[in-house]
Chain A
Amino acid sequence: MNFKLKDIGPQLITVLAVVLVFGFFTYNAQVNMENRGIDFGYGFLSQESSFDVQFSLIEYDGSHSYFRAYLVGLLNTILVSVIGIVIATILGVIVGIARLSPNYLINKFAAFYVEFFRNIPLLLQIFFWYFAALRALPLPQDAEPMFGVSYLTIKGLYVPAFIWQNYNIFFYSVVAAVIAIIVIRTYAKKVQENQGKQTPVLLISIGLILILPLLSFLIGGVRLSFEVPVLKQLATTSFIYEGGVSLPPELIALALSLSLYTATFIAECVRAGIQGVGKGQKEAAASIGLNPNQVLKLVVMPQALRIIIPPTTNQYLNLTKNSSLAAAIAYPDLVLVFAGTALMQTGKAIEIVSITMFTYLTLSISISILMNWYNKKIAIQEK
Chain B
Amino acid sequence: MKVEPRLHFHMPLQRTPFHARTSAANVLNQWGNWSGYTTALVFEDEAMEYSAIRNAASLYDLCPMVKYRFTGPDAAACLDRLTLRAASRLSVGGVHYTAWCDDAGKFLDDGTLFRLGPEDFRLCCQERHLPWLIDSALGFDVRVREETEEVAALSLQGPCSAVVLQAAGFDVSALKPFRMMSLPFGDGTLLISRTGFTGDLGYELWTTPDQALRLWDHLTVAGRPWGIRPVGSSALNLARIEAGFVITNMDFIAAHQAVREDRTRSPIEMALDWMIDWDKGHFNGRRALLAEREGKTSRWAFVGLDVPGNVPATGAVIYAGKTKEAGFVTAAEWLPTAKRNVALAHIERKYLKSDLWADIYALRELQYARLMLPVTVTERPFFNPARKRATPPGRF
Report if A and B associate in a common complex.
no
Q: A residues bordering B, Cβ < 8 Å?
A: none
